[in-house]
Amino acid sequence: MSDLIGLQTLSEKPTRLDQSQLKLNFSEAAVSQLEEIKSHYPSEKAAILPALWIAQREYGGFLSSEAIAEVAHRLHRAYAEVEGVATFYSMYNTRHKPGKHKLEVCTCLSCHVNGAYRILDLIEKKLGIRPNETTEDGLFTLEEVECLNACDRAVVMQVGDSYYGPLTESLLDTIIADLKSRTESTVIQMADEIVKVHLPESAV
């Protein structure tokens, strides 16, 4: 564990984390899921991606420095290595804690020419937030993303594991009303679904 490194925020310089400071927050179920997943790979390093999905679920949808440190600890990897993987992929939430639902609007070429910025503008006005911001009630985070590989449905938005498009104002209103009525977080729900994909049916 000598190479375990901790951060207070991802923008700060990493500092060595005394092992006694490490707090482990994975539930018993998460620990056994990780053990099951690890058994499918030749090395613990190969399990970093699914382990990060477990952490994203267990830490409320956000890979804080503590969450990354726990993954590093459980996989016997350096903090910097796990942090490098987590920050490379935009599907891991490392920059800020997202709201209950993350609205990811594609503004790439096909969506752009079909009015992505008009849609983004509409969402901004309806929710009162700009990209990378979260509503005060913690319900919605807005993000601008690269091509979602559903260009035939431009303009496309991803929320959790659902794609919506072509977006119109009335469809947006329906989606927002539906999300407001849900009890579960689509951010955490998606992390859980991805974890399950890595498990045999008997372990789900």
Judged by beta carbon, residue 54 or residue 106, the one nearer ligand FES is 106
Return the residue of 110, 122, 133, 196 that touches ligand FES, per CB under 6 A.
110
Return the residue of 108, 122, 139, 199 that touches ligand FES, per CB under 6 A.
108
C-alpha span between 49 and 70 (Å, rounded): 13
Q: How far is the CB of 39 from ligand FES (least distance, A)?
A: 36
Residue 154 sits in the site that holds ligand FES (CB under 6 A): yes
Annotate 147-182 with b (16+ C-beta within 10 A) or e (fewer). ebebbebbbbbbbbeeebbbbeeeebeebbeebeee
Omega prior to 14 cis, within 30 of 0: no
Q: Which helix (H) or strand (E) holds 84?
A: helix 79-88
Residue 78 sits in the site that holds ligand FES (CB under 6 A): no
State both tokens at 39: 């058994």
Return the residue of 147, 166, 196, 199 that touches ligand FES, per CB under 6 A.
147
Interacting residues with ligand FES (CB under 6 A): 106, 108-111, 147-148, 150-151, 154, 156
